[in-house]
Amino acid sequence: MSLDKPTNLIEALIFASEKSITAEEIHQVLTELLEEPIEIKFILEKIEQIQAKYLDLDLAIELVHLNAGYQFLTKKEYYGAINQLQIQRSKKKLSQAALETLSIIAYKQPITKLEIEQIRGVNCDYTVQKLLEKELISISGKAETIGKPLLYKTSGLFMDYFGINSTNDLPQINELITENNTIGEQAE
């Protein structure tokens, strides 16, 4: 295969990827496929051309830099339609327990299951197992405490799922606290 339509090849790789794909991953595929040297700089230039093409055309999708890679996503103005679709598919949504557990892991990572359970006040075995199965979290090692419990952190799929580049993009906890979320009288 030759490099006569590199932009189309790169566009196809990004489109076919289930999650964001990095320029390095594209480089590996193209190097093996084309059997000739190709530079990352060349790939990045082609990605910029693809991004510009999708911005210029009146399409519902765009190429977005996400989680250190690239992914085709629906443009923000189509949020209402996509939201309606997601409501209809709500059986596949995360449960309240899963969202709470995932939030704790996202803000406190790396964290042990015992620490999660202490914050939530309930057993989290099932929820942690389901989040691992959905690949929203991963095991990041073992704690240096007695028993060497497993440490959990969010995964790249978590970033894709919530449309963020890093956990730094998560809302700050003080932004989430409102007067409606307090119990009892406030001290002055």
Count the Cβ atoms, other than its own, within 10 Å of residue 70: 26
Res 120 pLDDT > 90: yes
Task: Mark whether 101 and 72 lie in a shared domain.
Answer: no
Task: Mark whether 39 and 100 lie in a shared domain.
Answer: no
CA distance 84 to 102: 24
| Domain termination site, one of 25, 49, 79 | 79
pLDDT for residue 36: 78
Task: Mark whether 174 and 118 lie in a shared domain.
Answer: yes
Any residues with CB less than 8 A from the CB of 148 and at least 6 apart, and which?
142
Task: Mark whether 151 and 105 lie in a shared domain.
Answer: yes
Q: Is 117 exposed, middle or buried (0-12, 13-18, 19+ CB in 10 A)?
A: middle
Q: Which domain holds residue 138?
A: 94-178
pLDDT for residue 34: 81
Question: Quick one: pLDDT band at residue 4, thresholds 50, 70, 90?
Answer: low
Total domains, the chain:
2
CA distance 103 to 107: 6
Task: Mark whether 110 and 163 lie in a shared domain.
Answer: yes
The answer to whether residue 88 is domain-embedded is: no
pLDDT in tens, 20-59: 999 999 999 998 888 777 899 999 999 999 999 998 888 8
Q: Region 65-71: what's the mean pLDDT?
A: 92
The answer to whether residue 89 is domain-embedded is: no
The answer to whether residue 65 is domain-embedded is: yes
Q: Find, among 93, 85, 82, the residue nearest to 136 by Cα.
A: 93
Task: Mark whether 27 and 74 lie in a shared domain.
Answer: yes
| Domain termination site, one of 48, 79, 110 | 79
